[in-house]
Structure 1
Amino acid sequence: MTTAITPSLEQLGWSPFFADQVSEKDSGLVPRRISSVHRSRVEAIDVVGSAALELPANSNTADFAVGDWILADPLTGMFVVRLARKSLFQRRQEGGRGQQLVAANIDTLLIVTSCNADFHPARLERYLIMADQAGSKPVIVLTKADTTADVGDFQSKAEALQRDLPVIALNGHSADAVVSLMPWLGIGQTVALVGSSGVGKSTLVNTLTASDSMQKTGTIREYDAQGRHTTTARSLHAVQGGGWVIDTPGIRTLYVSDITDGIDTLFAEITELAPLCRFRDCTHAHEPGCAVRDAIAKGEVVADRLERWRSLSAENSSRTPVLSGPRGNKTIKKKR
């Protein structure tokens, strides 16, 4: 991990949102930001660079996310409290009862895919839903733009996924990539890179950080986008321009769960029309007076958008655990 010595908390991403959580009783503690999370330890940075961080006995590192702000004892380095998060990107694993924390307090989520067989609109929709649910701004980043003559086609398909969605095509090895992403890399700004393995996330991180201590990257077969990504831990890196970037391991499968608000944002044209339907619980399938189907008939809404909305909504409902059981003895059960 490579970090930069920073002269102020603001350059680390500190803002009034976090400062307002610090009370007089915390006056003897110092703010630190989680810079990496491993199975057995977490690491942090503060205004002088890397900082020691000790966790109490029986602590679980899975409770921390890269980008978290915490307060620690300056003498012992002991963790005291984690501050409330401004945004949180998380996902539910298959068969898991809890959410896996991916990154916290991110301003922009860079959803990375490549201009080859990896480009998959349905998978990008899932990332967009997660970004919208997390409370961060999504940006689609198309890598390997220098390897295809159809960049415009990839861009137009990506832009159609969500209203006013920024889409940036670039070559991750080129210094021009920094210029293309600079609007989201200002002083104190934090971005996180997510995407499947082999799309060039770590290559892009290396370019953005211009680091001598480069992330290890695997190779990829261009004809079928098969490859192996060797990033195994989430980590925070200083980037050119004063911002911060969080690299994450490639996500093999992204399930839709606990993200109703994210779906509503992704399919805003359907969400906005739904209140105009005759029936409050309209499924937009067969009910008379359906404003959504009327808009489809007029060509104002694309028909397959409704089908994807219906499919993702059904998956979200079936995979989101619900609490049941007698009071005081709640258990998590899957919806059917």
Structure 2
Amino acid sequence: MDSTFTLLDLGWQPYFQQQLSLDDLESNRIARICSHQDNTYELIDESGLFSLSEHSEMPDMTVGDWVITDADHLFIRRLDRASVFDNIAANIDTVFIVCALDENFNLPLIKRYLGLVHEAQADAVVILTKADTCEDTQEKRAQVERLDPILIVETVNTLDPDSMDCLSPWLKQGKTIALLGAQGAGKSSLINTLMQHDGTSLPKIGTSNTLQPIPKGAILLDSNGLRELQVAQYKGGKIESFADILSLAEDCRFSDCQHQGEPGCAIAKAVKQDRLDEQRVANFLLLRFEETDDGIKAKSKPQGKFYRSAQSDVRARKHSAAE
């Protein structure tokens, strides 16, 4: 069943209003893309849901895009985007970067997410969770704040709605938000608390649940593409947390050393000399390798990509220090 929404309910902003022509205001329809599956876009406007079939004359479009059609739902144009994430999500105003303050605290991952958000031209707010499990909350918060002098960092209890009042400025009607964070960071708890309301049913936007209305008025954009993107960034950020081991790997006798007993392995030497913790090295190797169907260990493509990227960063820092 279609529910009635205003454009403001759907995340409409003055930036898009400025792109409208007189015909758009008088005769055409303004809609937002809810999902894209099997060469078909699902859109919603003030009258309800409708579909557009993808064709070659259309520009690249994705979830969150605003589109102009005529009265018969024929495509006219896509409005310019305020932000875009690798063409998998568009027109997100603010991204909540969620990170736990427990043993999963990962500063390199936060840096990766910040770079992703800045590249997309969206705003970022870092939300630190699980402060009750952390003895050095203020120090870790200070580490995050040092990443950017104007970065907003909030510490919340994701199970307590009152502690999340600090997020209200980004949850107003007309705003679109998204969340990025590793598994276990507290994203699900945060979303569940944000979605708490007075017991009345919130209207549903589309059939994919990619756009979800929040009781305070904002729209949550949660697409499969964004989930895949944050997993890839997580792998890269996790690898970077082993920068000291990556640096040692540069000193191995063989450039393709797998650090599993080869002669001249600098990592094995460091473990033997008690300069590296053996369990930490094991965790590093688990991150680099995954089990294939036939039981043979092989480096995955995404992990290999980010391993090489992180290794290059370490190499560049070493060369810079030498100079």
TM class by smaller structure: 0.5 to 0.7
Instruction: Give the aligned partner of residue 237 of structure 2.
Output: none
How far 1:148 sits from its partner (Å)? 3.1
Amino acid at match of 1:249: R
Distance 2:137 2:114 in 1: 20
| Structural mapping, 1:302-313, within 5 Å | 311=313
Distance 1:155 1:110 in 2: 15
**Structure 1 residues 105 and 57, CA gap change in structure 2 (3 angstroms):** closer
Superposed CA deviations along residues 118-150 of structure 1, whole A, max 9, x for unmatched, are: 321112111111212222211101123343343
Amino acid at match of 2:50: A
CA contact (8 A) 2:179 2:187 kept: yes
CA contact (8 A) 2:112 2:233 kept: yes
CA contact (8 A) 2:98 2:180 kept: yes
Instruction: Give the aligned partner of residue 259 of structure 1.
Output: none
Distance 1:143 1:37 in 2: 33
Amino acid at match of 1:244: I
Instruction: Give the aligned partner of residue 52 of structure 1.
Output: 50
Is 1:65 aligned with 2:62? yes
Amino acid at match of 1:33: R
**Structure 1 residues 72 and 203, CA gap change in structure 2 (3 angstroms):** farther
Distance 2:147 2:209 in 1: 27
Per the normalisation by structure 2, the TM-score is 0.60
**Structure 1 residues 81 and 311, CA gap change in structure 2 (3 angstroms):** same
Structure richer in helix, relative to its length: 2
Instruction: Give the aligned partner of residue 171 of structure 1.
Output: 157
Distance 1:155 1:181 in 2: 17
Amino acid at match of 2:218: G
Is 1:111 aligned with 2:106? no
Question: Which secondary structure state, in structure 2, belongs to the residue aligned with residue 10 of structure 1?
Answer: coil
| Structural mapping, 1:93-172, within 5 Å | 101-172=87-158
Amino acid at match of 1:186: K
Amino acid at match of 2:160: S
CA contact (8 A) 1:33 1:70 kept: yes
203-212 vs 163-172, greater mean Cα deviation: 203-212
**Structure 1 residues 159 and 234, CA gap change in structure 2 (3 angstroms):** farther
| Structural mapping, 1:127-276, within 5 Å | 127-210=113-196, 235-247=210-222, 248-249=226-227, 251-254=230-233
Amino acid at match of 2:217: G
Amino acid at match of 1:82: R
Instruction: Give the aligned partner of residue 274 of structure 1.
Output: none
How far 1:41 sits from its partner (Å)? 4.0
Distance 1:14 1:115 in 2: 35
**Structure 1 residues 209 and 311, CA gap change in structure 2 (3 angstroms):** same
**Structure 1 residues 67 and 149, CA gap change in structure 2 (3 angstroms):** same
Superposed CA deviations along residues 254-312 of structure 1, whole A, max 9, x for unmatched, are: 39xxxxxxxxxxxxxxxxxxxxxxxxxxxxxxxxxxxxxxxxxxxxxxxxxxxx9x949
How far 1:152 sits from its partner (Å)? 2.1
Instruction: Give the aligned partner of residue 35 of structure 1.
Output: 34
**Structure 1 residues 84 and 120, CA gap change in structure 2 (3 angstroms):** same
Amino acid at match of 1:14: W
Amino acid at match of 1:11: D
Instruction: Give the aligned partner of residue 332 of structure 1.
Output: none
Question: Which secondary structure state, in structure 1, belongs to the residue aligned with residue 31 of structure 2?
Answer: strand
Q: Which has the larger radius of gyration?
A: 2
CA contact (8 A) 1:112 1:193 kept: yes
Identify unmatched segments of 5+ residues in structure 1.
Answer: 91-100, 215-232, 256-307, 316-336
**Structure 1 residues 111 and 102, CA gap change in structure 2 (3 angstroms):** farther
**Structure 1 residues 38 and 154, CA gap change in structure 2 (3 angstroms):** farther
Distance 1:189 1:159 in 2: 24
How far 1:5 sits from its partner (Å)? 4.1
How far 1:185 sits from its partner (Å)? 0.9
Per the normalisation by structure 1, the TM-score is 0.58
The counterpart of 1:88, out of the listed 75, 84, 93, is 84
Superposed CA deviations along residues 186-241 of structure 1, whole A, max 9, x for unmatched, are: 12111111122332323322221227899xxxxxxxxxxxxxxxxxx882211122
CA contact (8 A) 1:36 1:66 kept: yes
